[in-house]
Amino acid sequence: MTIKKNEIACKLCGNIIESTHRHDFKYCLCGEVFVDGGLDYLRRGANWNDNIMELSVYDDDDAT
């Protein structure tokens, strides 16, 4: 998988956050969700995972 954009939105506050480089750990404005990993890996978390809206863009290199 090749990550083109590592981005999520918080369903509580509506804030869109993007991690642009490795270890670029960011919280949304209300502190409910976070994103990390830049273009190296996808890491996200939340107090309630239902509050994460996935917005990342990637190519599935394994597709045939």
What DSSP letter does each residue of 20-61 carry, written as one string?
-STT--EE-TTSSEEEE-TTT--EEEESSGGGEEE--EEE-T
**How does pLDDT run across 23-42, given as a tens digit for each residue?**
999 999 999 999 999 999 99
Place of tokens 């991690």: 19
Report the alpha-carbon distance of residue 1 to residue 10 in Å, rounded.
Answer: 24
Report the alpha-carbon distance of residue 6 to residue 21 in Å, rounded.
Answer: 9
The pTM for the full model equals: 0.88
SS3 62: coil
- Per-residue pLDDT band at 61 (split at 50, 70, 90): confident
pLDDT, position 59: 93
For all residues of the chain together, what is the average pLDDT? 95
* Model confidence at 64: pLDDT above 90: no
pLDDT, position 31: 97
